[in-house]
A and B are shown apart, each in its own frame.
Chain A
Amino acid sequence: MRNLSLIRFVFVLILLSATEFSIAQTDQTKLQPVTRAFALTNATVVQAPDRTVTNTTVVVRNGLIVSVGKNIDIPLDAQIVRADSLYVYAGFIDGLSQAGVEKPGGNQRGTDTSRFSARSKYNPADPPNAVAGIQPDAEVRQFLNPDLKSVEELRKIGFTASHVVPYGKMLTGSGALVLMGGDSPDAMMLRDDMSLFSQFQGADRLYPATVLGMMAKWRDLYRQAEISKAYETKFSENPSGLERPVYDRVIAAFYPVIDGNKIVYFKTPSVLDAYRAFTLQSDLSFPLVLAGLKQGWDLIDKLKSTNTRVFLSLDLPEDAKTKKNEAAEADSTKTTKNEKEEAPTFMTETEKKALEARQDAFRKKYETQPQMLQEAGIAFGFSTLEADTKDIRKNLQRMVKSGLSEAAALTALTTAPAAIMGVSDMLGTVDAGKIANMVVTTKPYFEEDSSIKYVFVDGKMYEYEVTEKKTDKKETDTSGK
């Protein structure tokens, strides 16, 4: 065993010296592949949510899907992946996350903004932009790192591209669509400077601290930007005799938004957040996408009438079963015998049941809202932000069980986000010419015992161990299928 790992280590060293890697990696997935050509043979290929072909081969070369078909030539240098019983999907696209984004150090977060230091260091009424969280000029590309755990976590559940944004407060900077993998931060980049990201996250005891200040700050910045942009245009047309406009990078960051060339992605988990984003949008009229939305069921008319696109959060409230089981476990571990006998109840059974019924009804709203949006004809994708990656597949399954069709779910994971982000020509389907982002599963993705075997990102293959689920009690679950 020792020898083996030693050999491996030497091998890695040799390889590293031959590549651009600057960071030593012992992770085998980091090894450069022998070839950049793959052929997945004889697979069931879900090319698009409404297009499934069987016994089909997909050929990938240099990061692109080069051909999809039944009797196609397999290149000699291709690594053949026998996919007879496997299912191939387009790689999933995440509408909003911070996967692969480094948290900036220093005083932007954590301990340094405690009451006392905040008081002594800054004027609360006029704090530096960096501490106040007013950084629309920041760019997420400065913070990318493909080796962060968050990238691998998203990738292994099938997400191959994600719209990522910087960490921070109200205005954290511009987001980019990046691949969930790559040899370098730059190699991840698909579409830089794609969005202006904002959220209702106030500064700690500094202006703007609350939603009151944040809304005002937004309007103030935007209107300032409109005025100075108009002046800059005037200046650039004929500068003679005009005062030089003062450049302000924060203000300038709004210019492409004012032009309609950059979309504002607003993180709006709650229904109230969403309405507040709408208020700003209707006051200032900028292009808006709601992202990370958790409570959208009452917004359907509004979304429809404003033709707003949405990325729903993949975070769901714990399902009833899990919750009850946990509670029972906690009870049995904690309480001793005699305590348990006289477990006090301060609530009548009727009241408890009524409250639980309301909780169930609301849980249902969270679960069924993708279906409600789909039925209303609203274009939506998903966002993994704030969702525990361990729960995401389960949550998708819950949505499907609650009535969302598999095709619709798949649309929201692939073609819809590609369309919303304007990258349908590159991503979203398994078609020749598209970027080779794919998910290969052992069974149809939404089946509970389906496992992901391979994920392709930019034509690079990541292999995952398929854990055979113990099926002692052979469940013949046909419901909802």
Chain B
Amino acid sequence: MIKILIFPLLFLWVQTAKAQPETGSMLIKNGTLITITNGVQAQTDLLIENGKIVRIGKGITVPKGIETIDATGLYVMPGIIDAHSHIGLSAINEATSPVTSEVFTGDALDPLDVSIYRALAGGVTISHALHGSANAIGGQSETIKHRWGVIEPDALKMEVAPRTIKFALGENPTRVYGRGYGMVPNTRMGVEAVFRNAFAEAVAYKKNWAAYDAQIKDKKQRKTAVPPAYSLRLQTLVDIMDGKILVHCHSYRADEILMLLGVLRDYGVKKVVFQHVNEGFKVAPELAEFGAMASVFADWWAYKFEVYYSTAYNAAILIRNNVVTSINSDSGELIRHLYHEAAKTQKYGDLTDEEALSLITINPAKQLGIDQYVGSLEEGKDGDIAIFKNHPLSVYAIPRKTIVDGVVRFDIEKDPDDVRLYVDPEEKFDQPVMRVSEEKCMQGADLMEFLQAEK
């Protein structure tokens, strides 16, 4: 059934896609398959043809001309999906306006960012290249496949993924606009006002255009019809209300989460994924009731006040309350070991192996609206695979190969020292960057950072 449903869709997509991504074929033999949706299957083969999983079973014979990967003694799982990342982006925040629904991280993709390779080296095949959290309504965001090696930014795009947009609540927008620029929002009250004003404006915009479109259709009125001012910003908000865009909302505190649920209810927005959502555990029943999903950190807390009353048991509480939950990185560092971040839910809340791994596979796929294509090992799904030595939930797990659309994009045996795609011929060698792990959401929006950069 699945096959029958999916293939016509894919066919359509291939026809309309701008650049067809490179796909490959291979037989992964004799591995321990962690399918996520259909248990663990020992000593099983998995056949990928032209980028799709076409067969899972024992003793599959190698079709002609297809490469075989021996996975004896290794664990084979679906490629890891990060629902919150900022890797592969030249810019993260357009931190100049509390509402920037017109901007789009798909415009700022940077396939040359080595973080993409490093994520692959952690088994991650897909990440959600989110806009930052400076703005209450931030930018639309792109779901990317880690096709390391491509130069064309569009070639990273997962074309079938639905549109998404970033919202943000709490300290970040109030710090940037209230404290930074002396404008609304300076409080969580103001954040709500920003949302309500923006949606109200969008309702009017939609009405004006509908009126104009009606006038144009009417022979008598057509003559005098005046087109309303065009706004990509408001049009995007209209698309959100029309259910065409998934909302991903940066949030921490319980009160602000409830606030946004209220706003969304009032404007008929049904799909929302709360990001970080450190106090999601406090309002898990409300989240579940709304059908809202949650994408959380494994254990980050106390780096700012709104995450002081957090608990690493957040994911477990949310799962137990039937909230579709994922674990994300929001960091070029954490994205390298999301399997380990997911494993922490066994320490904090005793999730089963399957539950823990679903946090970085099928659940984020659901949150990005791509679960019919990826997130589990199933026939018909994309050939996005991570192969591990040792169980992926063990601290000793080592990603061996990471495969995207049937193409090996990371192979520990062929991992070169220097993977950069572009090299600056004038770069001086002795100029390392001492990075500190941090919440990347605020990149390009931090006032202190601007001060320092200007010194």
Contact = CB atoms under 8 A, between A and B. Distances in A.
Q: Which of B110, B182, B232 has the most CB of A within 10 A?
A: B232
A206 B96 contact: yes
B189 interface: no
B204 interface: no
* Interface size grouping (class) on chain B: 35 or more
A124 B181 contact: yes
Interface string A121-160: 0011110000000000000000000000000000000000
A317 interface: yes
Given A224-B230, A362-B423, A212 B224 contact: no
A213 interface: yes
Contacts of B96: 124-125, 203, 205-209, 213
A212 B425 contact: no
Contact of B105 (A205, A212, A355, A360): A212
Contacts of A366: 425
Interface string A299-329: 0001000000000000001101001000000
A431 B325 CA distance: 74
Interface string B101-127: 011110110101000000000000000
Q: Which of A114, A216, A302, A362 has the most CB of B within 10 A?
A: A216
B429 A347 contact: yes
A279 B223 contact: no
B420 to A, nearest CB: 8
A335 interface: no
A444 to B, nearest CB: 28
Nearest to A217: B102
Contact of B227 (A209, A227, A282): A227
Contact of B232 (A125, A219, A354): A219
A276 interface: yes
Q: Which of A238, A275, A298 has the most CB of B within 10 A?
A: A275
Contacts of B97: 124-126, 207
A223 interface: yes
Contacts of A207: 94, 96-97, 100
A119 B180 contact: yes
A295 interface: yes
A247 to B, nearest CB: 14
B418 interface: yes
Interface string A349-370: 0011011001111110010000
A103 interface: no
Contacts of A215: 103-104, 107-108
A292 B180 CA distance: 36
Interface stretch (B148-156, B336-344, B383-391): B148-156
Given A211-B90, A212-B108, A219-B232, A119 B181 contact: yes
Contacts of A351: 417
B226 A354 contact: no
A271 interface: yes
Interface in B379-426: 417-418, 420, 422-426
Contact of A355 (B103, B233, B429): B429
Q: Which of A238, A272, A279 has the most CB of B within 10 A?
A: A272
A209 B422 contact: no
A33 interface: no
A210 B223 contact: no
B108 A211 contact: yes
Nearest to A220: B232
Interface in B137-162: 139, 151-154
A114 B422 contact: no
A114 B232 contact: no
B450 interface: yes
A302 B104 contact: no
Given A208-B94, A212-B103, A302 B152 contact: yes
A241 interface: yes
Contact of A220 (B102, B424, B454): B102
A227 B230 contact: yes
B5 interface: no
Q: Which of B152, B182, B444 has the most CB of A within 10 A?
A: B152
A212 B107 contact: yes
A287 to B, nearest CB: 20
B94 A362 contact: no
A27 interface: no
10 smallest beta-carbon distances between A and B, as pairs: A125-B97, A210-B91, A215-B107, A207-B96, A317-B425, A363-B425, A213-B94, A212-B103, A216-B102, A124-B96
Interface of B: 18, 90-91, 93-100, 102-105, 107-108, 110, 112, 131, 139, 151-154, 180-183, 223-224, 226-227, 229-233, 417-418, 420, 422-427, 429-430, 444, 450-451, 454
Given A210-B94, A279-B107, A295-B422, 18 more contacts: A114-B454, A123-B181, A205-B96, A206-B96, A207-B97, A210-B90, A216-B94, A216-B100, A216-B232, A220-B230, A224-B229, A272-B110, A272-B153, A276-B107, A347-B429, A354-B418, A358-B423, A359-B425
